[in-house]
Amino acid sequence: MLGTIFNTSAILIGSLCGSFFKKCIGTKYQNVLFDAIGLAAAGIGINTITNNMPNSKYPVLFIASLAIGSLIGTILDIDRIFNRLVSKTGDSQLAQGLSTAILLFCIGTLSILGPIQSAIYQNHTYLFTNGTLDLITSMILASTYGIGIALAAPVLFLWQGAIYLCANQLQDFFSTAFMTELSTVGGFLIAASGISLLKIKTFKTMNMLPALLVPAIFWGIKALLGF
């Protein structure tokens, strides 16, 4: 868990530093940062998709995941619940920024593979690298959205902690093929978040989060049936 603790601490430190600089940045420059963050998120999402989709053995799975996951999320109305919780801070823009932060910090190759490497091989290199990147990203996000971005840190800790514990118990489950499918779906969610920030099309990305569970459920059924 050393790598996860480092990664979580990096986000907290970056958020604190970024929120301090927010006071020195005018509205005009904050709008520029909004556009930069949106463009970066869209680019990261597209890059994740193009790197993983060609290696997919189940090319229809990501479509089913997005469709089923979005339906479940809409039925549960996760986006409304999330916005209601965040709105208590009094910052209407924080919900969008925080949802983007959670996706960027949690749904990435390093953030997912890192805890697995730590659990199975005691190798924290991925998470140390990811923590360094998240330090910079959290500074930029917090300089735009404020200290509330720090709320992504406990989410990341729980996310990577769950992966770490699962990897300890289910080493065979976290195969390269499974990670490819999960990363592809994650790439679409990150890209959707970036597109929303750029105001090209508004996606309720929090309602789409259950899409990440579909590949895991598919892989579980696949393992049980032995196909």
- pLDDT tens for residues 30-39? 778 778 878 8
Instruction: Kindly report the three-state secondary structure assignment for every residue of the chain.
Output: CHHHHHHHHHHHHHHHHHHHHHCCCCHHHHHHHHHHHHHHHHHHHHHHHHHHHHHCCCCCHHHHHHHHHHHHHHHHCHHHHHHHHHHCCCCCCHHHHHHHHHHHHHCCHHHHHHHHHHHHHCCCHHHHHHHHHHHHHHHHHHHHHCHHHHHHHHHHHHHHHHHHHHHHHCCCCCCHHHHHHHHHHHHHHHHHHHHHHCCCCCCCHHHHHHHHHHHHHHHHHHHHHCC
The CA distance from 200 to 189, in Å, is 15
Judge whether 106 and 99 are in contact, CB under 8 Å.
no
Domain boundaries, the chain: 2-225
Mean pLDDT of 136-157: 88
Q: What pTM was computed for the model?
A: 0.75
What confidence score (pLDDT) does residue 81 get? 83
Res 226 pLDDT > 80: no
What confidence score (pLDDT) does residue 220 get? 84
The CA distance from 17 to 142, in Å, is 8
Q: What is the pLDDT of residues 202-212, one digit of tens each?
A: 888 889 989 98
The CA distance from 72 to 218, in Å, is 16
Confidence category of residue 187, pLDDT binned at 50, 70, 90: confident
The CA distance from 174 to 162, in Å, is 13
Mean pLDDT of 108-131: 82
Judge whether 158 and 38 are in contact, CB under 8 Å.
no
Res 89 pLDDT > 60: no
Residues of 56-72 as b/e, b for ≥16 C-beta within 10 angstroms?
eebeebbeebbeebbeb
Q: What is the pLDDT of residues 59-73, one digit of tens each?
A: 899 999 999 999 999
